[in-house]
Structure 1
Amino acid sequence: MTIAKFQGGDAVTMSSREIAELTGKRHFHVTTDIEKMLAELKEDATGFRAIYLDSMNREQTEYLLDREHTDCLLTGYSAAMRMVVIRRWRELEEQAARPMTQAEITAANANHLVAVERQQREQQVALDRIERRVEDLSQTTVWDHCPQNCQSLTRIKETMLARHGLSGAVVDYVLKAWPNQPNPAGMVRNGHEEALGSQYLVWSKSHVTAAFHRFVSESTMVTTTQATHPYFEGRFRLVQKAQS
């Protein structure tokens, strides 16, 4: 919803998804433009960020902009794109300016309730994911030594830095937060005396290779060394000098 009205308050915003639809740009290109704009304005992007569930029930990020920030974003777009969005904004403002009928108030309250329920579902999905992760970890195999076909997080970071120039933060995301993350193969007991019996996760080399191959193939190069990914927030370094 780009107009959110309900008893006790109202707000008029335009989502990055609607901007993408109106301008014909890909959504993650629009979100990248918004993040760059907010960074230049020295404004906190989290204040504009919202979460929604896509058709596959996966959490995705969008941005909700007011008229002022939408106008600022459009300065970098073509005249044709600007005109489409300007006309849509006029429609939104006209709808927001006239008094709401009782039927519209009822519908708006219902939409607000749906939005609240959606947010609760999103939170439950995130909690379920964490619970499954904890359960999976509790059932993993524990080895005294790392198997030859597995790698630790430290080793994976070294490999992906050398292979694709990926930072440790991106590797952490792919292994721990990405919807298509590879499952850990098990855990290894740390043999160092000072480790006090602690354990560390290891992943199958083949699963790691396949996961990063997919992540890289889904990424879009913005410059010769900077890329974006639909699920990763912001740009990251990517050098495709070797195939995984």
Structure 2
Amino acid sequence: METELFKNKTMSSLEIAELTSKQHAHVMRDIRNLLSQGVAESNFGLAEYSDNQGKPRPCFNLTKKGCLILASGYDAVLREKIIDRWESLETGKAEPMAKQSLTPSELILQLAQFNVENERKMKALESKQEQMQAEIEEIKQRTTTDLHQSTIVAYISRNSIKLDVSRYGAMGRKASALCKKRGVEPTKIHDVRWGTVKVYPDEILDVVFGMGISNIN
């Protein structure tokens, strides 16, 4: 009875790696080198398999001719192993190959890639949470029942004032100076984007912005 592999007339690069005790990455490299030299792609079908983590990884399904072409670049012992495998497939005596196991180096590399991917996802999640918190704080500032005091950002946003963010600091210093002159102590709040920011009475900000942005030093 024909095995499934012989029925499909292919042998996977994973099998070849196990037969030859080579790393699968090295077998893939050897096949790509052959393809770059102009060997017919019809003998090397690109496919996928699932690794130990269930992630799709590339592999090749080789025809008998493809296997012999690949084996021609290996030493006599490895060529014999590949030819013996084909003979056992043709006679129906082939035993299923064990699932390809990762070498220690491949396992370390895979674990490192897994950790990097997890760290990237965690940073993206933290950034998104910070952005959401910032939006919530801004909404609080814009919808508070006490509209008689605001941060520079909230005042600009609520009044639809167009001002480059690089000028926010100048406006804050002007507002602080005016508060000091009038004996007013601005309160402080924590903002996830800007850190500790001051909240000024709107009457102060009305004067500051009423002076005209062009006059801010």
Shorter chain as normaliser: what TM range?
0.3 to 0.5
Larger radius of gyration: 2
**Structure with the larger strand share:** 1
Higher helix share: 2
